[in-house]
């Protein structure tokens, strides 16, 4: 009979290998992008308009476009998502309706991003006649990040100890007063974390904005929410696949800016979450 | 004067039959001690009086409970809870400053005037025998107080909304003897102005503090009488057994 | 007055609570609205199983079997790679990694999950694709295999984090009982923990696969764009998702091509719905 400890050593080695197979390539990817993209980064790159069909100049409109889209998405998703989370955490009962709502959230989270693009096209661009615009793109992205906002907010609300609610109610406060004065304020860090994660997600998505807002080459800034806009993920896609002879470092530079933006947001969210867990007074 | 008039109160939680046909009266300006082993229904009974059981989904109630002659099911829960305050077993300060803890209830009921609030907070803290210890640090977090102080803070908080009844749910279970004595002293002084219902696992505390004592066992009210009667010559053998510590 | 305001607020809260159901239905509705029209032109059987996808020819040929097979091939390849590695990594993090390294690893996995798919597509294009081309001596590295490898990376964070949660929530008593009987750590993992966490692990795998099937940008940039029946894993393919993304730009609103792409959207929606519901059932199964 084989030595079980030998088996264990082999098994553990394989498991370590599996972990390294994931972690090392991630590190490599980040290193490659930083290494090859950093040379392109300077103030001109970040603040200039693109020139020569995007072979030269900067990516400023793409950065601005991404900021507009992401802001629009959160303006739509945060209020609805937060109220939905409050419903699930404070008002819902253990019944079929609640199960259906949770199922719907799981599904929204799983819908492929390109299908969101189709939906945005059919509803906002065509049906509501908003056209390919920041408005259409923001609304599409907003619905897409709704599950993230709802789920993280709900967890934050549920982590406030139940006893606080009982105390508040026993003093004669109403349910909404309890939520507004006791539950919500103590859930803010968690809600903030979820919001930032949602923003990071919205900033990196390409497929939903392909048909709803993204412009191939718009050497001017958008004027209104009904205008088209460039965006970083779409920009990266275009200069990698559609435009020949773009200097390699411009491509890597764009990838670096997008990656840095998304990773930065995730990092901020993780730090808030970590600090909040340490500071909790109860 | 009868404060609470309870008839045929029957409570079920899902499959558990928590209270079985309880009928009794609670008189004003008295302390009623409620004793009994765990799971006898004491806390369930207490939470009926301020309708905190409403929060539980599986709660089913039959029978009537009247406060000052009015069925509590017809009174707005917020108003009821203003009249019937509760101090819980573990000290549960809200995550606010000492001042804000005491002022919380009245603020929710609409009081905004800073001076009036300050006066009310001071008065309540004095009634709870806590004022001297905290008067210089009202803006500090309530969590900085010791367990006994926190519990007196919870009492002050309840007093601030000017209730008529105060329910105490094993209030000294987490406290040391000195803090326990302070809380008991406060309770006895409070009965001059309020009606008090005290649920306690400590039989001796019930004897010290209560005017009337009620003994619950497995959801039934076995006996309710003047405290000295219960502790010297109880009617029911089970009451006698419990008081002597033959079971618990 | 306060009561009235609170009444309004609470009704609003209820409305938002129902919002997610509303949006799911809305999405499905609009997909149907634009997609069902394609079945006036081609029957559902021919649509799903037709072998030729030439939407701009006259008359248009709208069989999506090559696209389905493309998606299937890439997904299967990704599954073969990501399941053992992902579950293995989850076991490592949950049971073997020392505490300090554990947090770093989990952060690293979260980081991978956060990388936008277009960035991964870009990296895949410049590193993986030429690599595959050289290693296998192919005319082009834009193949299903490249796609599978990249997509495996995108599935792994999902698989790792959900499987790790599942392992973590196995009651400690199971583990302690086995160890107390003299089993080695590995034997405990293999014979006790894994079976106990199996429904959670299955859910993790399903959700990871679900993510892969729905992937668009990375596949578009790495798998080539040959909308024909794939003969092996080393040829260019086209997935359902890439088809929509690549061709919607050219499709005229209201044309058959337009409807066909929406019909593909319906197929994708139904597939992801089925996977998500099943995975959710597995996550909530008590053992």
The answer on pLDDT for A181 being more than 80 is yes
User: Is residue B19 classed as helix, strand or coil in its secondary structure?
Assistant: strand
- Secondary structure element (H or E) that encloses residue B24, with its range: strand B16-27
Backbone φ and ψ of B164, nearest 5°: -110, -30
Going by the DSSP 8-state scheme, the letter that residue B5 receives in this structure is: E
ipTM of this complex prediction, to 2 decimal places: 0.89
Which of A112, A88, A82, A90 shows the shortest CA–CA distance to A102?
Answer: A88
- Identify which of A108, A122, A236 has the shortest CB distance to residue C118: A236
Beta bridge partners of B60: B12
Q: Which residue carries 């802001």 as its tokens?
A: A71
Tokens of residue C126, six digits: 């410049």
Backbone φ and ψ of B8, nearest 5°: 50, 40
Domain contains A133: yes
Which of C209, C103, C204 shows the shortest CA–CA distance to C154?
Answer: C209
Q: State how beta strands B165-169 and B2-13 pair.
A: unpaired
pLDDT in tens, B21-33: 999 999 999 999 9
Q: State how beta strands A50-51 and B84-87 pair.
A: unpaired
Domain contains A199: yes
C-alpha distances in angstroms, C42 versus A9, A23, C248, C256? 59, 47, 19, 10
Domain that holds residue B18: 2-94+163-243
B52 and A CB contact within 8 Å = yes
Q: Which residues contact C243 (CB under 8 A, 6 or more apart)?
A: C53, C64, C67, C227, C261, C264
Region of residue C73 (phi > 0: left; psi between -120 and 50: alpha; otherwise: beta): alpha
CATH code for position A134: 1.10.3720.10
pLDDT in tens, B62-113: 899 999 989 998 999 999 999 999 999 888 999 999 999 999 999 998 888 8
Contact A22 C109 (CB under 8 A): yes
CA distance C159 to A38: 32
Domain contains B33: yes
CA distance B55 to B67: 20
CA distance A164 to A142: 33
**Tally of structural domains, chain B:** 1
Average pLDDT rounded to a whole number, residues A180-184: 93
Residue of B nearest to A93 (CA): B57
C216 with A114: CB under 8 angstroms? yes
Predicted confidence at residue A277, as pLDDT, reads 75
Domain that holds residue A149: 80-279
Predicted confidence at residue C287, as pLDDT, reads 46
Q: Which residue carries 């904005």 as its tokens?
A: A209
Domain that holds residue C75: 49-283
pLDDT in tens, A61-74: 889 899 999 999 99
C-alpha distances in angstroms, A151 versus A90, A158, A196? 14, 11, 13
- Identify which of B55, B79, B161 has the shortest CB distance to residue A171: B161
SS3 content of chain C, % helix, strand, coil (to 5): 75, 0, 25
**Tally of structural domains, chain C:** 1
Interface probe with A: pick from B89, B105, B108, B142, most Cβ of A within 10 Å: B108
User: Is residue B76 classed as helix, strand or coil in its secondary structure?
Assistant: coil
Closest-CA distance, A170 to chain B, in angstroms, reads 6
Domain contains C4: no
Q: What rounded mean pLDDT belongs to chain B?
A: 89
Q: Which residues of A touch C244 (CB under 8 A)?
A: 114-115, 117-118
Contact C119 A101 (CB under 8 A): no
Domain contains A117: yes
Domain contains B236: yes
pLDDT in tens, C44-65: 888 888 888 888 777 778 888 9
Residue of C nearest to A265 (CA): C114
CA distance B174 to B171: 8
The answer on pLDDT for C199 being more than 50 is yes
Contact C18 A103 (CB under 8 A): no
CATH code for position C247: 1.10.3720.10
pLDDT in tens, C76-121: 999 999 999 999 999 999 888 888 888 888 888 888 888 999 999 9
- Identify which of A21, A26, A174 has the shortest CB distance to residue C6: A174
CA distance B149 to B137: 13
Average pLDDT rounded to a whole number, residues C124-131: 91
**Tally of structural domains, chain A:** 1
Contact B143 A281 (CB under 8 A): yes
CA distance C88 to B185: 63
Closest-CA distance, A78 to chain B, in angstroms, reads 25
CATH code for position B214: 3.40.50.300
Domain contains B180: yes
Backbone φ and ψ of A280, nearest 5°: -55, 125
| Count of CB atoms situated within 10 Å of the CB of A39 | 14
Predicted confidence at residue C253, as pLDDT, reads 77
Confidence of residue A143 (pLDDT cuts 50, 70, 90): very high
């Amino acid at each position: 009979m084989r030595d079980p400890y030998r088996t264990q050593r082999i098994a553990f080695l394989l498991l370590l290998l599996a972990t390294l197979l994931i972690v090392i390539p991630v590190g490599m990817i980040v290193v490659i992008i930083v290494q090859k993209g950093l040379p392109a980064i300077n103030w001109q790159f970040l603040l200039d308009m693109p020139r020569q069909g995007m072979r030269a100049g900067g990516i400023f409109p793409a950065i601005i476009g991404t900021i507009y889209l992401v802001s629009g998405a959160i303006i739509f998703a945060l209020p609805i998502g937060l109220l939905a989370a409050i419903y699930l955490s404070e008002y819902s009962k253990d019944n079929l309706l609640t199960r259906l709502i949770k199922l719907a959230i799981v599904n929204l989270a799983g819908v492929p991003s390109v299908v969101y693009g189709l939906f945005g096209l059919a509803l906002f661009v065509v049906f509501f006649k908003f056209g390919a615009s920041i408005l259409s793109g923001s609304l599409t992205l907003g619905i897409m990040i709704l599950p993230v906002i709802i789920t993280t907010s709900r967890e934050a609300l549920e982590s406030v100890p139940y006893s606080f609610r009982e105390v508040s109610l026993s003093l004669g406060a109403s349910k909404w007063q309890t939520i507004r004065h006791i539950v919500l304020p103590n859930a803010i860090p968690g809600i903030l974390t979820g919001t930032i994660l949602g923003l990071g997600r919205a900033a990196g998505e390409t497929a939903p904005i392909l048909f709803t807002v993204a412009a191939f080459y718009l050497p001017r800034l958008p004027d209104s929410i009904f205008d088209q806009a460039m965006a970083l993920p779409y920009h990266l896609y275009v200069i990698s696949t559609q435009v020949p002879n773009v200097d390699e470092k411009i491509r890597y530079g764009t990838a670096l800016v997008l990656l840095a933006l998304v990773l930065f947001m995730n990092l901020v969210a993780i730090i808030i979450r970590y600090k909040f867990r340490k500071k909790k007074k109860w | 004067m009868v404060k609470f008039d309870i008839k045929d109160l029957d409570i079920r939680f899902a499959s558990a039959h928590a209270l079985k046909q309880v009928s009794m009266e609670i008189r004003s300006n008295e302390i009623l001690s409620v004793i009994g082993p765990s799971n006898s229904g004491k806390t369930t009974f207490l939470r009926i009086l301020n309708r905190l059981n409403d929060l539980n989904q599986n709660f089913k109630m039959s029978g009537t409970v009247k406060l000052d002659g009015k069925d509590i099911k017809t009174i707005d829960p917020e108003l009821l809870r203003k009249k019937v305050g509760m101090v819980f077993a573990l000290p549960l300060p809200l995550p606010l400053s000492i001042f804000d803890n005491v002022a919380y209830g009245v603020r929710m009921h609409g009081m905004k005037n800073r001076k009036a609030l300050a006066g009310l907070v001071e008065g309540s803290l004095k009634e709870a025998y806590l004022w001297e210890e905290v008067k210089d640090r009202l803006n500090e977090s309530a969590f900085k107080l010791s367990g006994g102080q926190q519990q007196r803070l919870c009492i002050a908080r309840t007093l601030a909304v000017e209730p008529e009844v105060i329910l105490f749910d094993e209030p000294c279970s987490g406290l040391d003897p000195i803090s326990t004595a302070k809380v008991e002293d406060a309770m006895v002084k409070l009965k001059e102005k309020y009606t008090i219902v005290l649920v306690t696992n400590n039989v001796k505390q019930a004897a010290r503090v209560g005017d009337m004592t009620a003994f619950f066992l497995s959801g039934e009210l076995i006996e309710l009488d003047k405290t000295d009667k219960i502790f010297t010559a109880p009617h029911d053998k089970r009451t006698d057994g419990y008081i002597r510590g033959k079971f618990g | 007055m306060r009561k009235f305001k609170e009444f309004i607020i609470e009704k609003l809260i209820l409305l938002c609570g129902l919002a997610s159901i509303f949006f799911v239905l809305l999405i499905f509705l609009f997909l149907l609205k634009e997609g069902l029209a394609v079945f006036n032109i081609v029957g559902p059987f021919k649509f799903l199983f037709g072998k030729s996808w030439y939407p701009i020819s006259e008359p248009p040929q709208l069989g999506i079997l090559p696209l389905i097979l493309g998606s299937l091939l890439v997904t299967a390849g990704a599954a073969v790679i990501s399941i053992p590695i992902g579950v293995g990594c989850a076991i490592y993090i949950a049971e073997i990694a020392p505490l300090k390294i554990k947090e770093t690893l989990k952060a690293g996995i979260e980081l991978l999950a956060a990388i936008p798919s277009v960035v991964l597509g870009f990296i895949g294009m410049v590193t993986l694709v030429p690599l595959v081309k050289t290693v296998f001596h192919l005319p082009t590295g834009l193949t299903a295999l490249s796609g599978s490898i990249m997509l495996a990376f995108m599935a792994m964070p999902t698989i790792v984090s959900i499987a790790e949660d599942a392992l973590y929530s196995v009651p400690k008593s199971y583990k302690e009982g086995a160890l107390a009987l003299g089993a080695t750590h590995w034997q405990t993992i293999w014979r006790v923990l894994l079976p106990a966490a199996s429904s959670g692990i299955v859910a993790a795998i399903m959700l990871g696969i679900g993510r892969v099937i729905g992937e668009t940008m990375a596949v578009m940039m790495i798998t080539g764009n040959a909308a024909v029946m794939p003969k092996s894993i080393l040829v260019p393919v086209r997935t359902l998702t890439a088809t929509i993304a690549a061709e919607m730009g050219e499709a005229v609103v209201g044309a058959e091509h337009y409807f066909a792409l929406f019909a593909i959207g319906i197929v994708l929606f139904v597939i992801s719905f089925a996977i998500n519901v099943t995975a959710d059932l597995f996550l909530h199964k008590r053992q």
